[in-house]
Amino acid sequence: MTTPPRTVSVPSADAPQRPGVAEPVLGVSGAVGSTPLVRLDRLFPNSGVEILAKLESVNPGGSTKDRPALAMVRDALDSGRLAAGGTVVESSSGNLGVALARVCTSYGVRFVCVVDSRTNATTVATIRALGGEIDLVSEPDPVSGDLLTARLRRVEQLKEEIPGAVNLFQYGNPANPAAHAAGTMREIAEALDHRLDVLMAAVSTTGTIAGCTAYLHEHRMDTRTVAVDAVGSVLFGGTPAPRPLPGLGAGVVTDISRGVSPDRVMRVDGLACVVGARLLARREGILAGASTGGIVHALGTLVRELTPGSHLAFIVHDGGVPYLETVYDDDWVRRTLGADPVAVDAATDALSSSARRG
Ligand SMILES: Cc1ncc(COP(=O)(O)O)c(C=O)c1O
């Protein structure tokens, strides 16, 4: 079934913020961005730090990747690199795939998404439901042993096989960080009158943290940036090792990451992501994905170091429903991370009390 292309309206970077006022927009892509920023007072009570969460999970595709997906497709169409009726081939651990499936469908563009065996079944089904095609890579790259490297090789193969296929290359495309500068960070900064002490974001392509940093520099804000990366990710000088959860970290040093220097890099393992995500769900009722769990775990350490009264914002990169069979499933956690439910509960309690002052 083919869907007629249509013009998608996107909120402009300088559109006024009108919280609570929902004006009609053309198409679901018009609903990307302007996500809620919520104050959390139950996550680490008595920490003395004001903690704010930017709920990128409420974007139409369920993740912050809606922003770069829209920006990269529009940029490729505007520049003539991609035409309606053309094909986009992209490597994605899931969220970009979901976002691109919808955007490509609305522009009448074929979309082939290269995923690997760690991608959640729900995410794969979502991409298909939105009209995307799945190309599954199940063997790691023989040289690096990394699945992301294997996915990138597969993208190159598909580009040769499909005439005129375009790879948007989220790992180096300037439209990726630009979408976060013009959207994610601008919205946070404007909501807080440009007063923010710390920004925390998880990293993969590093598009989010790079775009946010660009906005902070441009507006001369002295906000400290904290990148939360996976143990096993090679970003920012990390040592390669297997990473059990999708979406966090990278097996290759991305082009975008070469131009960004976070003030601090905090590394989290799979169990930390599980513990952080479960604490966020139980304390604040926010069901988030693995990388956000990693942020929450790192936050437990960070809040103890911050001066009381500091303002900190973190990104909720995606929602937790696609992780119900992993992060939130005791059997998966036992099998994959070797932690039994009692130990996970104990670690969750320990995380919550570790941040208490006095
Ligand atoms: C689950 C998840 N974690 C982390 C990130 C941050 O990734 P990046 O560094 O590619 O912006 C994203 C981006 O959308 C994401 O979807």
Give Cα 282 to chain centroid, integer Å: 21
Q: Is 228:202 a contact under the CB 8 Å cutoff?
A: yes
Centre of ligand 1 to C-alpha 58, Å, is 14
Q: Enumerate residues 6+ apart whose C-beta is below 8 A from 188.
A: 37, 52, 54, 196, 199, 212, 313
Whole-number Å distance, alpha carbon 207 to ligand 1 midpoint, is 8
User: Would you say the CB of residue 149 lies under 6 angstroms from ligand 1?
Assistant: no
- Report residue 228: phi and psi, to 5°: -100, 115
pLDDT in tens, the chain (358 residues): 444 444 444 445 455 555 566 677 778 889 999 999 999 999 999 899 999 999 999 999 999 999 999 999 999 999 999 988 999 999 887 899 999 999 999 999 999 999 988 788 888 999 999 999 999 999 988 887 778 789 989 999 999 999 989 999 999 999 999 999 999 999 999 999 999 999 999 999 999 999 999 999 999 999 999 999 999 999 999 998 888 887 899 888 999 999 999 999 999 999 999 999 999 999 999 999 999 999 999 999 999 999 999 999 999 999 999 899 999 999 999 999 999 999 999 999 999 887 765 5
Which residue ranges make up each domain of the chain?
28-59+180-354, 66-161
Rounded to an integer, what distance in angstroms lies between the CA atom of residue 154 and that of residue 301?
39
DSSP state of 333: I
Distance between Cα 358 and ligand 1 center (Å)? 35
For residue 201, which phi and psi values (nearest 5 degrees)? -140, 145
Q: Please state, in angstroms and rounded to a whole number, the distance separating the CA atoms of residues 72 and 89.
A: 12
* CATH no. of 28-59+180-354: 3.40.50.1100
Q: To test ligand 1's pocket by mutation, which of 72, 176, 245, 318 has the most ligand atoms within 8 angstroms of CB? A: 318
Query: Concatenated DSSP letters for 5-20?
Result: --PPP---TTPPP-TT
Distance of CA 257 to the CA centre of its chain: 15
For domain 66-161, give the fold. Rossmann fold (3.40.50)
Neighbouring-strand partners of residue 134: 113
Cβ atoms of 176 and 48 closer than 8 Å: no
pTM over 0.75: yes
Comparing 28-59+180-354 with 66-161, is the CATH topology the same? Answer: yes
57, 65, 286: residue to mutate for ligand 1 pocket, most atoms within 8 A of CB: 65
Q: Give the span between the Cα atoms of 247 and 96, in whole angstroms.
A: 10
